[in-house]
Amino acid sequence: MIIAITPNPALDITYTTPELAIGEVNRVEVRRRAGGKGINVARVLHQLGHPATAMGVLAGLHGQAIAQDVRESGLAARWSWQAGESRATVNVVTSDGNSTMLNEPGEQIDPQTFGELVGEVRANRGTGVATISGSLPPGMTEPQLDVLLHAAREVGAVIADLQGPALLRAAEAGVDLLKPNRQELLAATGEADVEAAIGQVLARGAGAVALSLGEDGLRLAGEGFDARAWLDTPIVGNPTGAGDSVVAAFARALDQARLGTTGALRDPQWRVQALREAVALSAAAVAAPLAGEYDAALYEQLLQHVRWEEN
């Protein structure tokens, strides 16, 4: 079982219009969908046929819309509810392919509801893997993040896809796998060199780093191992959600591991298979129109086109 935690869920609203005329009335087509990186992780796992439960804090009418969309998508979920209003993200897409994003910050989590969320996570003690992905809600303190990360640790293996100070906090909490991209890792660590940045988060306590490299594929580095996998022919498309597919792939691989988390990361055969699946799945997500989805037929094809090396 995989628990996919979204600390700051959103109602993603997409407005499609021929052109955006500032200061004028614009007629639009509208699509509303539950959003947040952890929800995307749960969607991909559901499509893969792997059991996963989405968790997070919801509020207000936006929260109800998020919960309804998740339910109608067939996903399992355990939400914690509070007063206020969950955030919305608005994406205005024009016919020339340009998009304008308007992102609300989200609702501050009240202490009682935060305790309920932590309790929901801990209720899954020893069941498999926990992922924690995306932005943090306003006002979440470092001690609160520590509590949430340690609750996730009680579930089993932990994968964190966070940014900035939160990424470093996750490393210090000893998560099994960090999943930043190159820019996020350098920004969080303050390093100018990727090798130094990887070394820093490993020294802080992370078990390994799965580093997204765009068209150059995916790198998995930890103490005593450093591997990279890539496609022989890169896929062009929408990269939104590709990183969430990487998290889903590694979460499934760790949940299925027979050697335990530490043993899996140190096993070359497991690393090859996990990297192969993650690269193919993220590329198949690039070819899909929406985050949290992937092209299933393309995924099966791409598994045969992943190249791999280990230093």
Number of other CB atoms surrounding residue 256 within 10 Å: 14
Cα angle at 44 between 161 and 266, to 5 degrees? 55
* Lookup result for tokens 């062009």: 236
Q: Are 26 and 49 contacting, i.e. CB atoms less than 8 angstroms apart?
A: no
Q: Please name the amino acid found at residue 51.
A: P
Active site residue 244: yes
Q: Are 105 and 87 contacting, i.e. CB atoms less than 8 angstroms apart?
A: yes
d(CA 268, CA 194): 23
Sign, Cα dihedral of 35, 37, 38, 39: positive
d(CA 156, CA 135): 22
* Lookup result for tokens 């590709």: 242
d(CA 282, CA 235): 10
Question: Pairing mode, if any, of strands 29-35 and 76-82?
Answer: unpaired
**Which of 12, 161, 176, 244 is flagged as catalytic?**
244
Question: Pairing mode, if any, of strands 225-231 and 52-59?
Answer: unpaired
E-only strand ranges, 162-203: 177-178
- Please, which residues bridge with residue 3 across strands? 53, 130
Of 16, 19, 26, whose CA–CA distance to 90 is shortest?
16
Number of other CB atoms surrounding residue 45 within 10 Å: 28
Number of other CB atoms surrounding residue 238 within 10 Å: 13
Q: What amino acid positions are annotated as catalytic residues?
A: 244
